Structure 1
């Protein structure tokens, strides 16, 4: 499964925003600057996160983005879905209907062994992402590098 680089950018941005003071909005340009990302492209992903309720976007001279929910309530799956969309990674096209012994009255999405195996794997992947939150990632980063929160806050000022 291949995801766009926007997923990585969005996840890192959510962790970085989790270290800012509640209510403080950070401009997209400043968020992009942290990792030398193109502002326009990151902004597109930030807007997707805002539409999903993960971020809140504010306009004006002190405008920007901030987390829209507690980091413990934002799962990695929430972020992936906001960026990539809710569609299944594997899409059974029911090619068995046209194969040997195929029947037009059968829904092969439900009976095909390959379709079932792929759906089982995707469910495991989605479950693993749903079990991890931005708060979990933040905690792990802080354990590995206790200076990360303050260093990030400095770069976002």
Structure 2
């Protein structure tokens, strides 16, 4: 199982915004430079985060991206699903039989992982980063 690079960039972008400037707009060039990725690629990722309502976008000289007002409630799962979509991570069983024992194990594991990602908020990681020596 592996998430896309876009999800990795989205998580790091959200963390950077949470640490560096939760109330201020940050330009896409600064965000892209920070991660060593093209502005075009990061703009596509940010568009998904805007559509999901996690980030606000403002154009103009003082524009850029900033976290929404209640950003403290944004979970890792919210960010991942904004980029990857809500589809299951695993294609469970070849015949999709609800009695398939393999499928039951995979579904249970995925539910636990999704629950963990839902409980972990970007603000929790931001606090750890700001407290680190």
Query: Normalized against structure 2, the TM-score is what?
Result: 0.90
Structure with greater Cα Rg: 1
Name 1:63's counterpart in structure 2. Answer: 63
Name 2:116's counterpart in structure 1. Answer: 128
Q: For 2:122 and 2:70, locate their aligned partners in 1 and report how far apart those are by CA, in whole Å.
A: 9
CA deviations 1:34-58 (Å, max 9, x no partner) are 1221111111111111110111111
Check the 8 A contact 1:15/1:134 in 2, yes or no.
yes
Name 2:21's counterpart in structure 1. Answer: 20
SS in 2 for 1:111: coil
Q: For 1:21 and 1:118, locate their aligned partners in 2 and report how far apart those are by CA, in whole Å.
A: 37
Written as runs of structure 1 = structure 2, the 5 A alignment for 1:109-124 is 110-124=98-112
Q: For 2:14 and 2:22, locate their aligned partners in 1 and report how far apart those are by CA, in whole Å.
A: 13
Q: For 1:81 and 1:51, locate their aligned partners in 2 and report how far apart those are by CA, in whole Å.
A: 12
Q: For 2:126 and 2:118, locate their aligned partners in 1 and report how far apart those are by CA, in whole Å.
A: 16
Check the 8 A contact 1:25/1:64 in 2, yes or no.
yes
Q: Residues 7 and 21 of structure 1: is their aligned pair in 2 closer, same or farther, counting only changes over 3 Å?
A: closer
Written as runs of structure 1 = structure 2, the 5 A alignment for 1:63-142 is 63-92=63-92, 94-95=94-95, 108=97, 110-142=98-130
Q: For 1:45 and 1:111, locate their aligned partners in 2 and report how far apart those are by CA, in whole Å.
A: 38
Written as runs of structure 1 = structure 2, the 5 A alignment for 1:25-64 is 25-64=25-64
| Residues matched between the structures, number | 132
How far has the Cα of 1:21 moved from its partner? 5.2
How far has the Cα of 1:61 moved from its partner? 2.2
CA deviations 1:42-78 (Å, max 9, x no partner) are 1111111111011111122222111014332000000
Structure 2: give runs of 5+ residues left out of the alignment: none
How far has the Cα of 1:142 moved from its partner? 1.6
Check the 8 A contact 1:71/1:133 in 2, yes or no.
no
How far has the Cα of 1:111 moved from its partner? 1.8
How far has the Cα of 1:141 moved from its partner? 1.2
